[in-house]
Amino acid sequence: MALIVQKYGGTSVGTIERIQRVAERIISYKKAGHQVVVVVSAMGKSTDVLVDMAKQLMPHPTEREMDMLLTTGEQVSIALLAIALQARGYDAVSLTGWQAGITTEDVHGKARISRIDNERMQRELAEGKVVVVAGFQGLSEAGEITTLGRGGSDTTAVTLAASLQADRCEIFTDVAGVYTADPRVVPAAQKLASISYDEMLELANLGAGVLHPRSVEAAKKYKVRLVVRSSFTDEEGTNVEEAADMETGRVVCGVAHDEDVAKITVVGMPAQVGTLSRLFNALAVNQVNVDIIIQSSYEAKATNISFTVSGSDLNKALDTLEANREELGFEKVEFEQGLTKISIVGAGMINNPGVAAQMFRQLAEEEISIKMVSTSDIKVSCVISAEHTAHAVRALHTIFQLDAKQMAVVHGVS
């Protein structure tokens, strides 16, 4: 008997018929003698529908009320799934995030889980029930309902798996696993049998939507065995695990892209000690996530600082800069929207010089200009104009030998 945490995303519970299929799958695990804790997302696109309704009332609704609103989506699916299980004669109980004992920090919209008191879940499991938990939500220390950020149900699932010391955490989604690139953009993309936590973390952070980045962080930290697989088939998925000798096989394991990038340049900041700290502190206080940062001094007394934020944070970032204009002492702010960050990821890069050069050469050959670059041990990212996205992703996928046929020849993988 194993204890398994499963998570079903919005598409997988998008209709009553699909909820019934999920119930059947859960029952097959129960029949095999396993204990199951299930985390579900809101049905289909219902979270987007709720966001949209609120925005019809006010362009920037308060984050507290948004959390109150959005957490209802998951509560619909947990109740329906528990009912579907009960209808088939299986004992099940739905729990909200707070009933499941999930406490978060006091932040609305993207709270982090601070602790999980799993006593209630343990009790329900001991009574033989399937425990169905609402993803993406918790209760703050101050007693406020919070959400973990869009896509946060994955993080609920992984942290519950860690807390319950589950044997594994299975993320059921609408794709068959983790791919070498977005198959909608690259028809030759293929599913990876396994990927390391570090590679997955880079890919997730770089916009591969298949897993919430924080869920991968938690999986790595607590060594949760994570599997990403389809809720529509029985196909084997992708194992996300500790890097083993698989690092030696391939240099690049995937090409990711994020099309929602904006670049901001703060022109004429005073070149003094503490300038960067003041600027990014102001942004951090306002919960603006900054990605690539480039500083260029153009004269002794002044400096320009460029950085990227997600398109959805652009207004917040610009407002923050404006509000702190006097203290920061810059001349002006420029920005550019409609950019894509395209990245190659692979643990094998550490030992292979020239990977970045190969990427730049390929983009140059395609006549795509690179606006910004950032690197880590296992990734290289370039910011380019969004119009070139598909073309660039395909070219890099090919040059790094990830196309389905080539990979079969090069690595003997099918």
Residues that bind ligand ASP (CB under 6 A): 9-10, 41-42, 47, 73, 135-136, 150-153
Q: How far is the CB of 273 from Mg ion (least distance, A)?
A: 42
Q: Find the shortest distance in angstroms from Cβ 178 to ligand ASP.
A: 17
Q: Of 194, 330, 203, whose CA–CA distance to 269 is shortest? A: 330
CB 296 within 8 A of CB 331: no
Closer by beta carbon to ligand ASP, 97 or else 177? 97
What is the enclosing helix (H) or strand (E) of 340? strand 332-345
Q: Which does 73 bind (CB under 5 to 8 A by kind): Mg ion, ligand ASP, none?
A: ligand ASP
Separation of alpha carbons 204 and 171, rounded Å: 14
Sheet arrangement for strand 226-230: 92-95, 130-134, 35-40, 3-8, 168-173, 226-230, 238-241, 194-196
Looking at the Cβ atoms of 41 and 146, the one nearer to ligand ASP is 41
DSSP type of residue 339:
E
- Give the whole-angstrom CA distance, residue 221 versus residue 95: 25
- 275-294 positions binding Mg ion, by CB under 5 A: none
Q: Which of residues 351-370 bind Mg ion (CB under 5 A)?
A: none
- Number of residues this chain uses to bind Mg ion (CB under 5 A): 2
How far apart, in whole angstroms, are the C-alpha atoms of residue 368 and residue 375?
19
Measured CA to CA, the distance from residue 60 to residue 66 in angstroms comes to: 10
C-alpha span between 187 and 284 (Å, rounded) = 39
138 interface partner picked from ligand ASP, Mg ion, none, CB below 5 to 8 A per type: none
Report in angstroms the alpha-carbon separations of 407 from 175, 198, 254, 344, 413.
20, 21, 12, 16, 7
Give the angle 175-102-136 at the CA atoms, nearest 5°.
Answer: 30
Minimum distance of ligand ASP from residue 138's CB (angstroms): 12
Q: How far is the CB of 359 from Mg ion (least distance, A)?
A: 28
Q: Which is nearer to ligand ASP, 147 or 306 (CB)?
A: 147
User: Which among 8-16, 125-133, 137-145, 264-272 is the span making contact with Mg ion, rule CB under 5 A?
Assistant: 8-16
C-alpha 214 chain-centroid distance:
7
Site for Mg ion in 9-28 (CB under 5 A): 9
Minimum CB distance to ligand ASP smaller for 41 or for 180 = 41
CB of 394 closer than 8 Å to CB of 388: no
All residues at 6 or more sequence positions from 361 whose CB lies less than 8 Å from its CB, including other chains = none
Least Å distance, CB 73 to ligand ASP, is 5
The residues in 122-181 that bind Mg ion, with binding defined as CB under 5 A, are: 151
Give the residue among 224, 263, 233 at the shortest CA–CA distance from 37: 224
Extract the runs of DSSP E, i.e. beta strands, from 127-253: 130-134, 137-140, 145-147, 168-173, 194-196, 226-230, 238-241
User: Could you say which of ligand ASP, Mg ion, none residue 237 binds, taking C-beta under 5 to 8 angstroms by partner kind?
Assistant: none
Nearest-approach distance from CB 151 to Mg ion, in angstroms = 4
- In the complex with Mg ion, the residue whose CB is nearer, 14 or 151, is 151
97 is in the binding site of which of Mg ion, ligand ASP, none (Cβ under 5 to 8 A by kind)? none
Q: How far is the CB of 201 from Mg ion (least distance, A)?
A: 15
CA 360 to chain centre: 26
Q: Which does 307 bind (CB under 5 to 8 A by kind): ligand ASP, Mg ion, none?
A: none
Q: Which of the listed partners (ligand ASP, Mg ion, none) does 152 bind, with a CB threshold of 5 to 8 Å by partner kind? A: ligand ASP
Smallest gap from residue 78 Cβ to ligand ASP (A): 12
Cβ nearer to ligand ASP, comparing 65 with 327: 65
User: What strands, in cross-sheet order, belong to the sheet with 332-345?
Assistant: 293-299, 302-310, 254-270, 332-345, 379-385, 372-376
* Of 42 and 283, CB closest to ligand ASP: 42
Closest to Mg ion by CB, 149 vs 270, is: 149
Least Å distance, CB 50 to ligand ASP, is 9
Residue nearer to Mg ion on the CB measure, 44 or 151: 151
Buried b or exposed e, range 310-335, using 16+ CB within 10 angstroms: bbebbebbbebbeebeeebebeebee
Which CB, 14 or 177, lies closer to ligand ASP? 14
Which of ligand ASP, Mg ion, none sits in contact with 150, Cβ below 5 to 8 A by type? Answer: ligand ASP
Q: CA dist 399 to 2, 250, 252, 408, Å?
A: 43, 13, 10, 14
Min dist. Cβ of residue 17 to ligand ASP (A): 19
Which spans of this chain sit near Mg ion (rule: CB under 5 A)?
9, 151
